[in-house]
Amino acid sequence: MIKVTVWNEFRHEKRMTEVKEIYPEGIHRALQTGLSAYGFDVGTATLDEPEHGLTDDVLASTDVLIWWGHMAHDEVDDSIVAKVQERVLQGMGLIVLHSGHYSKIFRKLMGTSCALKWREADEKERLWIVKPSHPIAAGLPEHFELEQEEMYGEHFDIPDPEELILVSWFEGGEVFRSGVTYSRGNGRIFYFRPGHETYPTYYRPHVLRVIANAVRWAAEERGAAPTYGNARPLEAIGVKR
């Protein structure tokens, strides 16, 4: 069974009534419930727990880490970021959601500012599947809509993605690369745009399907991890010159 850990700041839900009404137990709990229905073993971790809930044992047992952050990126301890980065390089999958684009871990792995344009308004978002053959697109229609979302617009300062899976269009006319993949070391990374805290986005079936598909994709078994360092002489491994 795939072991998933959903990490969430869990700050908006405590401080903003409108967010608490939508996610009374936190965004992490909504995602935990929605993804458990797909057969995953889903745990949670939050910013204010010791080590932000990401202890060595938790990270070691996590196949895929899902990250949602917004108002407290700077409060994430750099030592925890370094541990998460190392686990990704070792093969742990990472799914970064919405405003997690500006998290320390995503920026560290991307090596860019990860800046973008945004507009908080009740706008329709139409998400187009532009690579329908990809496993993350499995079981989805060619497009789906969210009646209310925050707008994200280009330019999105990320490296050219290895694969572009989804593109968003907004009522204001903007478009956005809203579903992109990367590999770092032996780990797979997926960034998925929707999920502003004042909208019930993480209850939407198509949104959960994208995330669940991404979990399976990110957790797929990789090839053997490479060996680095000083190579043994040919004679020592039985090779004759």
Q: How far is CA 43 from CA 6, 120, 148, 219, in A?
A: 6, 30, 28, 15
* 47 part of a folded domain: yes
CA angle 107/172/117 to nearest 5° reads 20
In a domain, 101, yes or no: yes
- Please count the other Cβ atoms lying within 10 Å of the Cβ belonging to residue 61: 13
Q: Is residue 116 part of a domain?
A: yes
Number of domains in the chain: 1
Percent residues over pLDDT 90 in the chain: 90
Domain assignment present for residue 238? The answer is no
What number of other Cβ atoms are within 10 A of residue 226's Cβ?
7
Q: What was the pLDDT predicted at 159?
A: 98
This prediction's pTM? 0.94
Residue 237: per-residue pLDDT: 64
Euclidean distance between CA atoms 178 and 57, whole angstroms: 32
For the ranges 13-22, 201-210, 219-228, the lowest mean pLDDT is seen at: 219-228
Please state the separation of Cα 150 from the chain's center in Å: 18
pLDDT at residue 110 in the model: 98
Q: What is the pLDDT of residue 122?
A: 87
Residue 177 to residue 209: CA distance in whole angstroms? 18
Average model confidence (pLDDT) for the chain? 95
* Tens of pLDDT, residues 75-116: 999 999 999 999 999 999 999 999 999 999 999 999 999 999
Residue 82 burial (CB count, 10 A): 13
Print the domain residue range for 66. Answer: 3-222
CA 115, CA 42: separation in Å to the nearest integer? Answer: 30
In a domain, 229, yes or no: no
Please give the share of the chain, as a percent, with pLDDT higher than 70. Answer: 97
> For 43-78, how does the pLDDT look when each residue is reduced to its tens digit (9 = 90+)?
999 999 999 999 999 999 999 999 999 999 999 999
Residue keyed to tokens 């072991």: 3
Dihedral, CA atoms, 217, 23, 70, 162, nearest 10 degrees?
A: 20
Query: Does 128 have pLDDT greater than 90?
Result: yes
Residue 167: per-residue pLDDT? 98
In a domain? residue 235: no
Q: Contact 216/229 with Cβ under 8 angstroms?
A: no
d(CA 130, CA 147): 20
**Structure confidence by residue, pLDDT tens digits, 223-241:** 777 788 887 776 666 666 6
Single-letter amino acid code for the residue at 85: Q
Output 228 or 31, whichever has higher pLDDT.
Answer: 31
**Taken in order 52, 53, 57, 60, is the CA torsion positive or negative?**
negative
Question: What CATH number is associated with residue 126?
Answer: 3.40.50.880
| pLDDT at residue 230, rounded to an integer | 82
Task: Classify residue 237: in a domain, yes or no.
Answer: no
Q: Is residue 43 part of a domain?
A: yes
pLDDT at 241: 64
Instruction: Give the DSSP letter of residue 159.
Output: P
- Identify the band that residue 221 occupies on the pLDDT scale cut at 50, 70 and 90: confident
Which residues 6+ apart lie within 8 Å of 223 measured at CB? Answer: none
The answer to whether 208 and 200 have CB atoms below 8 angstroms apart is no
Phi and psi torsions of 195, nearest 5°: 135, 30
Q: Would you give the distance in Å from CA 29 to the centre of its chain?
A: 16
Structure tokens given for 151: 């707008």
**Least confident span in 145-159, 182-196, 218-232:** 218-232
pLDDT score at 224: 77
